[in-house]
């Protein structure tokens, strides 16, 4: 079963629309399936850099609010 192609677009759109995220173009979003063969689930991974330390948590919050049932792996770093 393939990952839903709309998840990445939904996440990117939500990040770009939030005015409190200073430079969303530096955030890389990926979606992958993880887990055993018959119980795979989608996980959103956030990579890249943000300007301010509080933005690391803010980006994850935006994504979790938009897709509350999809786990998020946040590996964002501060510039």
The domains found in the chain, sorted by start residue, are 6-78 (3.30.300.30)
Q: Report the candidate in 22, 57, 9, 19 with the shortest Cα–Cα distance to residue 76.
A: 57
Angle at 52 between CA 48 and CA 55, to 5 degrees: 70
Does residue 5 surpass a pLDDT of 80? no
Does residue 66 surpass a pLDDT of 70? yes
Predicted local confidence at residue 16, as pLDDT:
97
Binned at pLDDT 50, 70 and 90, residue 11 comes out as very high
pLDDT tens digit sequence for 25-64: 999 999 999 999 899 999 999 999 999 999 999 999 999 9
Predicted local confidence at residue 18, as pLDDT:
97
DSSP 26: G
d(Cα 19, Cα 64) in Å, to the nearest integer?
Answer: 17
Q: Which residues pair with 34 in a beta bridge?
A: 41
């Amino acid at each position: 079963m393939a990952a839903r192609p709309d998840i990445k677009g939904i996440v990117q759109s939500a990040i770009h629309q939030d005015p409190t995220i200073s430079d969303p173009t530096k955030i890389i979003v990926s979606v992958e399936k993880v887990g055993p063969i018959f119980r795979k689930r989608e996980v959103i991974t956030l990579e890249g850099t943000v300007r301010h330390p509080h933005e690391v948590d803010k980006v994850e919050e935006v994504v979790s609010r938009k897709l509350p049932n999809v786990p998020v792996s946040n590996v964002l770093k501060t510039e």
